[in-house]
Amino acid sequence: MIKARGLARTFKNRRVTVDAVRGIDLDVEAGEIVGLLGPNGAGKTTTQRMLATLLIPTAGEATVAGCDLRRDPVGVRRQLGYVSQTGGTNPSAKVDEELVTQAQLYGMSRTAARTRAHQLRETLDLADLGDRVIKTLSGGQRRRLDIALGLMHDPRLVFLDEPSTGLDPQTRANLWSHIRALRDHRDGTILLTTHYLEEADALCDRILIIDAGKIVASGTPAELKRRISGDLVTFEVDDVPRAAELLRGCGDARDVTTVERGLRITVDRGETQALPLMRVLDDAGLKVGSLHIAHPSLDDVFLTLTGRSLRDAPPS
Amino acid sequence: MNRVNCMNELDYYCYLRTLDAEHEVPMFRDAMITFRYQMRLLLREPVWIVIVMIQPLLYLALFAPLLDPITRTPGFPPGDAWQVFVPGLLIQLGIFGSMFVGFGIIAEIRYGTVERMRVTPASRFGLLLGRVLRDTVVLLIQATLLTLIAVAFGLRVPVIGALITLGIVGLLGVSLASLSYAAGLWLKSEDALAPLLNMVSVPVLLLSGIMLPMTLAPGWLRRLAQLNPFSHVVDGARAAFRNDLGDISLVAGLIAAAALAVVGLAVATRTFQRESA
């Protein structure tokens, strides 16, 4: 659905030159939800805006939905639904005015646009709000309207820029289910940017971690976490020093540390390796009280890759 | 059955057909869509349409009476005070009524609506033209009202001459609205646009002979004014008001107004197409 090679963008101001994106290769298959994860200023939005024909890349090539980004931007626009970070609605306009006008600009007839607006309002929990002036909507309603605008022409490919920024947790979860439905029911492809770990983790089939304009890692959320830090297995045992001795050097167990009334061990795959380790303890006659497997967070991944935490990464 | 995908077949067929519609010029279709959208927004808060008219009305009531004695000054062009002054007021309305629309596009940039429309396949020229048309229609309504009120005050003007003048005002509106949108898209900030407009508007106004005809001016000032295309537009409008339809200044005025409109639209379309706009 998307294939980009060496995509780069440099912003030149009077004095400063900023390399916002420095050569990104990117492949997105149909039916995937792919997340660009990174701190503010990493180049997520710039990448997305280039792929959406809003910015001309300074270097690189890309094909989006079968159309060449440079030669056929109108072809790209026709097939793409784009929802920007700040949305794009006039506060004095009415909900249906925006929806219908948007669809008409994609070539839909007025009647078809009205029907479609009605359907999308139903789907996105905006059913009775067609005549409401937009400034009277709540934050969550406005965000769902932004998304409805991006879906009016029934695109197969949707870009969402920070879809849930500024929403409360409940509204966010609700939005996620709408985004998932988009892929599940329609085989839609979604490329979203986010700096929320929870969002990338909960929503994306695949994550591209982007930092300082480059992709530093990619994979499913689980793969990324596994590859970089492994899982944490914690046992509660009666004889901690003995258990530590037994488990050290057992399989790929590493970083064996004592915690309160137990041991914490790092292994590659917690689910498959916890039981053999427990059997070792059991065979030696030790009493295992409890077993706990923890997956590392994407924040741990980001920390390992870039040396800083995603949460307090300064905007570069 | 999922709801997102249940656009019924007929609608979907309509949609596909409109995509392929060859009989419509997409540019003008997009312009009309934009025009209707913008017009509806404007009519929701029509107060400023009236506010823009207050200034020329005050000029008409409080300044025009001063002109009567001046008509006897040597160098005053033919025609009575009203016939000289009202065309100038109409041109002034055309300039000042259109010049500030750029603030609107800055607000739209801030809302994100401009960017949203730029990601659609809609023609850039159409997106611009729809807005400019809205502004021009509003301007022509204001100009018509102003002319009718002036007639009530005592203006005598032939219908043809008045219509030609309205045409000139319309072209001027197209030009200045376009240029103002271009400036707004370029500067993206009210704080930068306001001084720019002030800087441009005062010399344009003073060198166009809107207030007092340039025939009263000393030679150097008159030559300077001739470099200002708006002065030709004002002279043309005055000729039309006198019903001097064969007058060379009317031809010059029409050409100047048309040229200004073409240049304005070209500059603004380019700005709209440019990626950073």
Q: What is the pLDDT of residues A128-183, one digit of tens each?
A: 999 999 999 998 899 999 999 999 998 989 999 998 887 788 888 888 888 888 88
Residue A137, pLDDT score: 93
Of A78, A88, A181, the CB nearest to B112: A88
The pLDDT tens digits of the residues spanning A220-270 come to: 988 887 766 677 888 888 888 888 888 887 777 777 777 777 888 888 777
Please report whether residue B1 resides in a domain.
Answer: no
Q: Same domain, yes or no, for A61 and A181?
A: yes
Domain count, chain A: 2
Q: Residue B3: what pLDDT?
A: 37
A-chain residue closest to B276, CA distance = A55
Q: Which residue has the higher pLDDT, B215 or A118?
A: A118
User: Do A115 and A253 belong together in one domain?
Assistant: no
Q: Per the domain annotation, does B163 fall within a domain?
A: yes
Query: Residue B121: which of A74, A92, A185 has the nearest Cβ?
Result: A74
Residue of A nearest to B21 (CA): A107
Give the model confidence (pLDDT) of B27-36 as tens digits: 889 999 999 9
Give B3's contacts in chain A (Cβ within 8 Å). 119, 122-123
* Residue in chain A nearest B7 by alpha carbon: A116
pLDDT confidence band for A307 (50 / 70 / 90): low
Q: What b/e readout covers A159-186, taking b as 16+ CB neighbours within 10 angstroms?
A: bbbbbbbebeeebbebbbebbebbbeeb
**CATH number of the domain within which A121 lies:** 3.40.50.300
Question: Number of folded domains in chain B?
Answer: 1
Compute mean pLDDT per 10 residues along chain B, 277 residues long, and list them.
42 49 71 94 80 78 78 75 87 89 93 92 92 94 90 89 95 96 93 92 85 82 88 92 88 94 94 72
> Cβ–Cβ of B11/A74 closer than 8 Å?
no
* H helix or E strand, kind and range, residue B128: helix B124-153
pLDDT at B31: 94
Say whether both A198 and A108 belong to one domain: yes
A83 and A31, same structural domain?
yes
Q: Quick one: A45 and A89 in the same domain? A: yes
Does residue B132 form part of some domain?
yes
The dihedrals phi and psi of A82, each to the nearest 5 degrees, come to: -125, 125
How far, in Å, CA of A219 to CA of A98, rounded? 37
Chain A: closest CA distance from residue B50 (Å): 19
A11 inside domain? yes
The residues on B that touch A, with CB distances below 8 Å, are 2-8, 11-12, 14-15, 17-19, 21, 26, 30, 33-34, 36-37, 40-41, 44-45, 108, 111-122, 275-276
**B106 vs A contacts (CB less than 8 Å):** none
In a domain, A304, yes or no: no
Domain that holds residue B193: 9-273
Find, in chain A, the residue whose alpha carbon is nearest to that of B1: A185
Q: First vs last Cα of chain B: how many Å apart?
A: 42
Considering the domain architecture, whether residues A274 and A213 belong to the same structural domain is answered as no
Pairing between β-strand A189-194 and β-strand A157-161 as defined by DSSP bridges: parallel
pLDDT reported for residue A285 = 85
The CA distance from B51 to the nearest CA of chain A, in Å, is: 19
- A132 with A270, same domain? no
Q: What range defines the domain where residue A271 resides?
A: 231-294
The overall average pLDDT reported for chain A is 86
Q: How far apart are CA A135 and CA B44, in angstroms?
A: 14
Per-position DSSP letters for B60-119, written without gaps between them: HHHTGGGHHHHTTSTTPPSS-HHHHHHHHHHHHHHHHHHHTTHHHHHHHHHHTHHHHHHT
From B123's Cα to the closest Cα of chain A, the distance in A is 9
Report the distance separating Cα B269 and Cα B130, nearest Å. Answer: 12
Task: Flag whether A310 is in a domain.
Answer: no
Instruction: Choose among B137, B57, B134, B49: nearest CA to B90.
Output: B57
Tell whether A144 and A181 lie within a shared domain. yes
Find the residue in A nearest to B27 (Cα): A105
Confidence of residue A310 (pLDDT cuts 50, 70, 90): low
Nearest to B112 among A78, A87, A108 (CB): A87
Query: With an 8 Å Cβ cutoff, are B4 and A78 in contact?
Result: no
Give residue A316's pLDDT band: very low, low, confident or very high (50, 70, 90). very low
CB contact under 8 A, B111 and A90: yes
Contact residues on chain A for B34, CB-CB shorter than 8 A: 101
CB-based contact, A13 to chain B, within 8 Å: no
Distance from CA of B77 to the nearest CA of A (A): 48
Flag whether B30 is in a domain. yes
Q: Across the interface, which of A84, A102, A182 has its CB nearest the CB of B115?
A: A84
One-letter amino acid at B103 equals F
- The answer, for A160 touching chain B at a CB cutoff of 8 Å, is no
| CB proximity list for A91: less than 8 A, separation 6 or greater | A133, A134, A135, B111
Q: For A58, name the nearest residue in chain B, comparing CA atoms only.
A: B275
Q: What local confidence, expressed as pLDDT, does residue A315 receive? A: 45
Instruction: Kindly report the nearest CA distance between residue B102 and chain A, in angstroms.
Output: 16
Which one of B108, B121, B275 has the shortest CB-CB distance to A77?
A: B121
- Verify whether the Cβ–Cβ distance B8 to A86 is below 8 Å: no
A243 part of a folded domain: yes
Instruction: Give the position of tokens 């005592």.
Output: B154
Same domain, A24 and A43: yes
- Tell me whether residue B4 is in a domain: no
pLDDT at A106: 92
Is A107 within 8 Å of B275 when comparing Cβ atoms? no
Instruction: Check CB contact under 8 Å for A111 and B11.
Output: yes
Considering the domain architecture, whether residues A78 and A173 belong to the same structural domain is answered as yes
CA distances (Å), origin A33, targets A80, A150, B178, B244 = 15, 16, 41, 70
Does the interface predicted TM-score (ipTM) exceed 0.85? no
CB contact under 8 A, B119 and A89: no
- Among A186, A220, A254, the domain-final residue is A220
Residues A240 and A272 both lie in one domain: yes
pLDDT at A311: 60
pLDDT at position A228 is 63
